[in-house]
Every structure is written in C-alpha cells, then in structure tokens.
Amino acid sequence: MTLRLGLTGDVMLGRLVDEQQLARVPGAVWGDMLDRLQTLDGLCINLECCLSARGQQWRRTRRTFHFRATPDWAVPALEAAGVDCCALANNHVLDYEEPALLDTLDELDDAGIPHAGAGRTESAALEPAFFPVGDRTVAVVSLTDNTPEYAATATTPGTAYVEIDVDDAETRRTVETALGQARSRDPDLLIVSLHWGPNMETEPPEAFQQFAHWLVDDGVDVIHGHSAHVFQGVEVYDGRPILYDTGDFVDDYAVDPSRRNDRSFLFELSLTPSGSPAELRLYPTEIADFAVHEASDEAASWSRERMRSLSEPFGTAFDRAGEALVCALGG
C-alpha cells in the first residue's frame, strides 16, 4: 500500500490570521485544502509562531515582527488538518519570550503532536520527533541558522541553532548528535527540517547545497527547507529529495508582486513499502483571506512554470498529473 506524507512551508497563525480565526471555525485556516490534508497518511509543517496567550514581545535585540497564535483555536486547527509533526527551529518561536515558548511545547504535548527544534534546553531542542505514517516510523530533526539569540543553551530554552557550514566542527558535532538520536529508534524515514537563510531569496547558496548533500550522504532521506517565504527549486540527489525552500503555506504577509510569496505547494511524498521516498507530487496553493487554498488556474500555472525553471539547474524535471507536478525519486 502506498503511503503519502505531506510537507509544507511556513504556517504562521498569528497577527491577522489569529484575529480572523477567532471568528471562524478552526479548520477554516486550511480553506479548501482541508480535505486533501486530511487524506494524507502523515503531515509535517514548519510552525512559524508560538502558541500562547502569555509572554511579552522580545525586546532584548531588535525584532520587527512578533507572531503568536491563540491556542484555543490554533491547536484544534492543527488537529483538524491531521498535523503529525511541527518543526519549531525557526526565528519566531521565542517572539514572546520563554513563557510563550514553554506554552507552545506544552500545548503540542497536551495535544499529542510531536515536535522538534525547540526545547527547555539545547539537548531537548536537538531531540528528534517521531511519528507513524501507516506502519512506518518517521523521524524529524529540526534545525535553524536564523536568530542566534534564540538559540537554546545548556540551561535556557530556545531553538536548535547551527551554522550552515559543513566545515564547521561545532555544526558537525551538533548535527551528528541530533541524527544519532534519530537513528537510535531505527526510523524508516529520516527528515531534516531546516529553517535556513534570509527572506525572499529564490535560489539556495552553494553552502546550502553542500550542507544538503552532506546530510544525504550521511543517510538523511528528505531535506525539508523553509525560511525564504518563496519556494525554491527541488533537487534529487542520490534518489533523495532536497526541498531547498517550501515557501509559505498560510500567513498574513504583504505580497511581493514578482516573487509571489503567497504562492507555493503542498509537497507530497509517496513512500515505498520500506519507507523510502518513491515519488514527489507538488500541489499548487495560494494564500487568500488569511487561509490557504488550492491555487487558481492562473496562480497554479505560474507556480508550476516557476518551479520547473528553478529546478532545471539541479537537473530535476517534472511531469504533469492533473494540477500537480510529479517527479520520480530513487525509491
């Protein structure tokens, strides 16, 4: 039986999304994508906000934006979509300081939603998340190179922070520690979710490509990138998908008219009986009314063409299946 695992870019449920959702049912934030999300056998997102009604805005260093969602609707919304794992290593999980981060961890724990990338200490932040997809086990390691002041320490809460540099001894030690913990339970699929790089960049730098290749060479099955707010090209390296950036899935951000950060995809992996990725399907999405929707014909056409163009330098070619782009993997 083929199992399907969905991956999304940034899910930011604060600010205007939060305001709108206080007057809507929790599942409304997923728009007409809700049915598709619910049919997946697994779903992993980057949660780009904290879940809390506590805390004060981070002022220790300059921060322009602060994202916080009301747990009373946000947690039921995650449950409604069938979210199985939240990557938390990003530059917003501490926007309302430690109390809100700790609430986020507790809210997800109480809901039984595994998470990785942030914790009460550095060792906790590096702990992988595990969740089942059918009868297979998926492990997720979540890391970020954003906002070093949010990094967890041996005694303080924060994120799993690394420099994206394969030659940096501290980075290699940190990543190997996290991967070793993930492998300790012999998962069928190992994902590294990376919140890396600056905003609005349409191509990954050479250092990111080297880092992704190093991870695959070290046994990682899927690279799940995000942070740029716009999707980047897909590379298939040694049969493993490298999603350099999955863009934005839902938020309230201003839209760049050329880079179109309101457009992206639901990235769907089909898994072999052994749990390896066999096929990648990209379903076009767009954000409107502070919710995610299936892309309009015009938006879908634009996104498919742009993804093909951005992926071509990596030697990645896509076929078309209905509204989706399809790419065979190594299996």
280-314: per-residue pLDDT in tens? Answer: 999 999 999 999 999 999 999 999 999 999 999 99
Among candidate residues 162, 70, 36, 118, the one with its CA nearest the CA of residue 8? 36
Contact criterion met (CB below 8 Å) for 158 and 118: yes
What's the pLDDT tens digit per position in 37-82? 999 999 999 999 999 999 999 999 999 999 999 999 999 999 999 9
Which domains are seen in the chain, by residue range? 3-328 (3.60.21.10)
DSSP string, 211-264: HHHHHHHTT--EEEEE-SSSB--EEEETTEEEES-B-EEE--PPPPTTT-TTEE
Name the pLDDT band for 1 (thresholds 50, 70, 90). confident
The answer, yes or no, to whether residue 222 has pLDDT greater than 70, is: yes
* CA pair distance 30, 8, nearest whole angstrom: 12
Which residues 6+ apart lie within 8 Å of 315 measured at CB? 235, 236
* CA pair distance 41, 6, nearest whole angstrom: 8
The token duo for 224 is 């799940």
Burial of 35 (0-12, 13-18, 19+ CB in 10 A): exposed
Average pLDDT, the chain: 97
Helix (H) or strand (E) holding 5: strand 3-11
